[in-house]
Amino acid sequence: MGLRMFDRAEEYLAAGLLAGITLLTFTQVVLRYVFDTGLIWALEATTYLFGWLVLIGMSIGVRTNSHIAVDLLLAALPARARKAVAFFAVVLSLLYALLMFYGSATLISQLRLFGSFAHDIPLPRWILLLSLPVGFALLSLRIIQVAVALARGTGEGLGAANEGIPQALVDEERRP
């Protein structure tokens, strides 16, 4: 699968998760207030779906450079120092993502070993929490892509580029 198709799959998955959360919540509201009943597993299901959405959203945020970045001090540095600081931030971010991946993979392994099940959903908890290692693996991949772009000179690091922001706003922000 090409990188472009992978990007699309990631976006479709996030959109599908958001649609699922919305549909399940709407159904629960209708059942509760119109029919005075409800789905006992709906809250737990939306919680797990939201976890998947957030973790995949982290990856999309890094890929599209749409996360929050405070680069006031970074912008004041000379180009060479700015690149060094950006690379350091990328390395720290990758270290964090890999540690979280390792920790979540360990959690999944322990949950499989103990045979823990979800409260209201008849599935093993480790299946529902696969979002953790999958999400942090995707985040690691995206951070590695940022590191490669930074090393090649085609990127500026995590959040350093002002993509999608009108140039007038960028200029206004940098005015003393």
Position 120 pLDDT exceeds 70: yes
- The Cβ of residue 129 has, within 10 Å, a number of other Cβ atoms equal to 19
Tokens 């706003």, residue? 169
DSSP state of 78: -
- What does the H/E/C string look like for 137-173? HHHHHHHHHHHHHHHHCCCCCCCCCCCCCCHHHHHHH
pTM reported for the whole predicted model? 0.82
Per-residue pLDDT tens for 42-66?
999 999 999 999 999 999 999 888 7
